[in-house]
Structure 1
Amino acid sequence: MATVMQKIKEIEDEAKLAKLRRELLAPPSKGGGGAGEGFDVTESGDARIGLVGFPSVGKSTLLNKLTGTFSEVASYEFTTLTCIPGVIMYRGARIQVLFSAQTIYFVKGLLKIPEILQIVWIHNADIHLRYDATADDLIDVIEGSRIYMPCIYVINKIDQITLEELETLDKLPHYCPVSAHLEWNLDGLLEKIWEYLNLTRIYTKPKGMNPDYNDPVILSSKKRTVEEFCNHIHKDMVKQFKYALVWGSSVKHKPQRVGKEHELEDEDVVQIIKKV
């Protein structure tokens, strides 16, 4: 009997957690009340990354070292009580960093499908699993609001562990060891952030002038056509577009005349020729 009651309590706790999570993620209603306190930071820069983690693991120190943005540092938990934005300047790109004080929760235990459906208030459904799905996989499909992003596990305070422990950690995927306080391997972290963002730098070349290598146009690797390049400079440039001259690894000749559908590569140089 005790085991059954314990199981019921676990399901109730899971349901409460799911409800609180939905309230936290839900947008505020137009009526008087909202779904809870949150934050809104204006998006800026060429890319955006988030810095999250457990209390007192050195997030504030890391933010201070990477961006020069001040965030109070102390040895007690929850020193930072809001979302603090900062900017990393790296390889000509402005990377916005959002440091959130939100606590991360990890739910342990295995739930059966009927229990999961009860949590999300579904009482009648046909479920077909075509692979060995986890409880999180099922919840993601039901709610349809999850977006998975690339993640880097930053292992801080490596100055406090042995070389043998560091070699063990080195076997982890998506991992970067640092010491924010001593500024160890921060360059390696920036390199890995750049790798995971997968950005493309395109240099502009005005007619009759040398390329501008100091202020590249930053494009996503998924949207790096000449048309996207034009839209980043000015929304009306495509209307005046005739063709482009490109120097770099995306073309065989230097320069080569291309259309707006041409896909650019990192560190290409582009000159736009407009209609007369």
Structure 2
Amino acid sequence: MGIPEKIKAIQDEILKTQLNKATEHHVGLLKAKIAKLRREQEKVQTKKSGISSDGFDVRRTGDATVVFIGLPSVGKSTLLNKLTGSRSAVAAYQFTTLTVVPGILDYRGARIQVLDLPGIIEGASKGKGLGKRILSVARNADLVLLILDVFQPYHEDVLRTELNNIGIRLDQKPPNIVIEKAAIGGISIAQQVKLTKLSEKLLKEILHVYGITSARVLIREDITAEQLVDHITGDKNYAQSITVLNKIDLVDEKFLKNVKTKIKSEVVPVSADSGINVDLLKEKIYEKLDFIRIYMRPKGGETDFKEPLIIRRDSTIEDVCNKLHRSMKKEFRYGLVWGKSVKFAGQRVSIHHVLEDEDVLTIIKSR
């Protein structure tokens, strides 16, 4: 029996199983087995085709990267043009954009890379059209914009499903769990919180499915079986998202209010054609990316308060070094920091020090 047949057999077994408290352990284990088989299937398909599973070759630039994900003809190209002033092709027929079109949004001192991707279709994560290559670009994004047509709000589920299938977890954080493999001793579990979504027995059985028979497991949050599998496979990406409802100039307030009730997430209604709420969307993008400002002070010099360095919250001095110059990290000796992240002004810190908004930083290089 091949991998597709094994997957189908397990899926059929799940469908036949009545979901209740007594069967959730069995179903959870079956889902873990399917996830493992799909991972193996993906490797086989990639090897047979000889085609890389990587996405379009897009070089990251700016302070953060935002991607547009949507079905064809929802107005992504027009919206890119309004946000960034780029000249992405616009036409009233499907599949106008056949490659990744980049633009830069300059907003409140931040330079944000915005990528207009070709429209996807249902089944994209399974290889329909250029689906896998398109969705793979989103793996490196800091923020995903789900672009919906005001007349087709139900496509939100399609977009989220396709992204989830390719391993992109929207509006989630990586599960707070540590698994340290061991040579002997079986599986020992230490819990800092009580598990309610996953039993210890199922946790151990899922580890066995993935060939882990001896390990020390530290549970720091109440996780599900799916989150455990995500952690074990280690190939998932986590990004924030904004749902954008486009073409609102074509409907009235009553229609728009009704459409909003059908969308599960918070939505930003816009009209790319008319420019309605484009400035609001810029502000929402900036807020979601959660930037902070760092003021640089050269050794023995004055602090530059006019042009702050824009970085993401929870960034370290190492991130600042990488942003300034690729050789800076090698030359780094120590840092001096003034601001909220230190106990006293001019405190000496290491390259791993986490900075906070409006900190002042001096980098001391090796002699």
Report the TM-score range of the alignment, normalised by the length of the smaller protein.
Answer: 0.5 to 0.7
| Aligned match of 1:159 | 249
| Aligned match of 2:290 | 198
2:286 counterpart letter in structure 1 = W
TM-score, scaled relative to structure 1 = 0.67
Distance (whole Å) between structure 1 residues aligned to residue 305 and residue 69 of structure 2? 36
1:174 counterpart letter in structure 2 = E
Assess if the C-alpha contact under 8 Å between 2:314 and 2:355 holds in 1. no
Corresponding pairs, count: 236
Runs of 4+ in 1 over 4 A off after TM superposition: 25-29, 35-38, 130-133, 136-144, 237-240, 273-276
Assess if the C-alpha contact under 8 Å between 1:151 and 1:174 holds in 2. no
Distance (whole Å) between structure 2 residues aligned to residue 202 and residue 35 of structure 1? 39
Gap change, CA 1:202 and 1:242, over 3 Å in 2: same
How far 1:143 sits from its partner (Å)? 6.7
Please tell me whether residue 83 in structure 1 is matched to residue 138 in structure 2: no
Higher relative contact order (CA 8 A, sep 6+): 2
2:317 counterpart letter in structure 1 = V
How far 1:163 sits from its partner (Å)? 1.6
How far 1:229 sits from its partner (Å)? 2.7
How far 1:231 sits from its partner (Å)? 4.2
Task: Select which of 33, 45, 51 maps to 1:34.
Answer: 51
**Structure 1: which 5+ residue stretches go unaligned?**
1-6, 109-125
How far 1:52 sits from its partner (Å)? 1.2
Distance (whole Å) between structure 1 residues aligned to residue 51 and residue 246 of structure 2? 36
Moved more, 142-151 or 79-88: 142-151
| Aligned match of 1:117 | none
What SS does the aligned partner of 1:62 have? helix
Q: C-alpha offsets along residues 215-272 of structure 1, whole Å, 9 cap, x if unaligned?
A: x32323232x3344344334346745344142x444566x443423543222323233
Distance (whole Å) between structure 2 residues aligned to residue 102 and residue 81 of structure 1? 8
Alignment of 1:86-165 (within 5 A): 86-105=103-122, 145-165=235-255
2:235 counterpart letter in structure 1 = S
Alignment of 1:1-276 (within 5 A): 33-34=50-51, 39-105=56-122, 145-168=235-258, 169=260, 172-206=264-298, 207-214=300-307, 216-223=308-315, 225-234=316-325, 235-236=327-328, 239-246=331-338, 248-251=339-342, 255-260=345-350, 261-273=352-364
Assess if the C-alpha contact under 8 Å between 1:85 and 1:99 holds in 2. yes
1:156 counterpart letter in structure 2 = N
Distance (whole Å) between structure 1 residues aligned to residue 302 and residue 234 of structure 2? 50
Distance (whole Å) between structure 2 residues aligned to residue 241 and residue 189 of structure 1? 41
Gap change, CA 1:56 and 1:188, over 3 Å in 2: same
Distance (whole Å) between structure 1 residues aligned to residue 317 and residue 51 of structure 2? 43
**Structure 2: which 5+ residue stretches go unaligned?**
1-7, 13-33, 126-156, 158-204, 208-221
Assess if the C-alpha contact under 8 Å between 2:72 and 2:119 holds in 1. no
Of Structure 1 and Structure 2, the greater helix share is in 2
How far 1:76 sits from its partner (Å)? 1.2
Percent same amino acid at aligned positions? Answer: 42
Distance (whole Å) between structure 1 residues aligned to residue 87 and residue 329 of structure 2? 39
1:67 counterpart letter in structure 2 = T
What SS does the aligned partner of 1:213 have? coil
Assess if the C-alpha contact under 8 Å between 1:205 and 1:270 holds in 2. yes
Distance (whole Å) between structure 2 residues aligned to residue 273 and residue 144 of structure 1? 36
Distance (whole Å) between structure 1 residues aligned to residue 355 and residue 54 of structure 2? 43
How far 1:60 sits from its partner (Å)? 0.6
**RMSD of Structure 2 on Structure 1 (CA):** 4.0
Gap change, CA 1:44 and 1:227, over 3 Å in 2: closer
Assess if the C-alpha contact under 8 Å between 1:231 and 1:238 holds in 2. no
Q: C-alpha offsets along residues 98-118 of structure 1, whole Å, 9 cap, x if unaligned?
A: 21114142699xxxxxxxxxx
